Structure 1
Amino acid sequence: MFVISLKYKVPIQQVEHHLEAHRAFLEKYYANGHFLLSGRKVPRTGGLIVASGSDRDEIERIIAQDPFYVHQIADYEVTEFEPTQWDVRLDSMINSKE
């Protein structure tokens, strides 16, 4: 699993200009099971995505398709982690990845 942290590097007006395309990108990867959770940082300086994938290279290929990446709206930091403890409500999601 991966946590993808986005940090905006442009004014929020430029972020807003690409937001619809970014949301379409998110929906594509929710639909195919890669993205599990996403949202804005508070204060609104970027966002976070929790994703699953076979390896870091796959996640980086996915990120390269994000309009925020293509148009240099945000910087990305990818952290890979192995879940070792979780709420029982996430059992089916976590156990399907083992």
Structure 2
Amino acid sequence: MKFFAVISHMKDQELSQKYRPEHLDFLKKHYEEGNVAAYGRFEDGTGGLVIYKGSTYEEVEELVKQDPYIQEGAREYEMHEWGTKAEHFA
């Protein structure tokens, strides 16, 4: 299992507010299914970070593209494979 850090940058504040409940439901569902290790917003309001788990970059990117924030144009994302040694993420 690999980890991927996905930074979502604010693109449209109004759309972010509108789709926040759907975005949070999406993250909660995927956290419970084991596809997301951790998530949270940046305190300065510029976006947030999600740590996804998956086998390949492409597999995780397909999941990222299903996030309502991305689908509705509220956020854009930057994705990087993340090498971690943190035991609680394994």
Same fold (TM over 0.5): yes
Kindly tell me the number of residue pairs found equivalent between the two proteins: 88
Partner of 1:25: 26
Q: Structure 2 regions of 5+ residues with no counterpart?
A: none
Q: Structure 1 regions of 5+ residues with no counterpart?
A: none
2:79 corresponds to 1:81: no
Q: What TM-score, normalized to structure 1?
A: 0.82
C-alpha separation in 2, matches of 1:69 and 1:14: 10
C-alpha separation in 2, matches of 1:71 and 1:13: 11
Superposed displacement of residue 40, structure 1: 0.6
Q: What TM-score, normalized to structure 2?
A: 0.89
Structure holding more strand per residue: 2
Using the aligned pairs only, state the percent identity: 27
Larger RCO (CA under 8 A, 6+ residues apart): 2
Matches within 5 A, 1:1-98: 1-10=3-12, 12-83=13-84, 85-86=85-86, 90=88, 93-94=89-90
Superposed displacement of residue 64, structure 1: 1.2
- What is the alpha-carbon root mean square deviation over aligned residues? 1.3
C-alpha separation in 2, matches of 1:16 and 1:81: 28
Give SS of 1:43's match.
coil
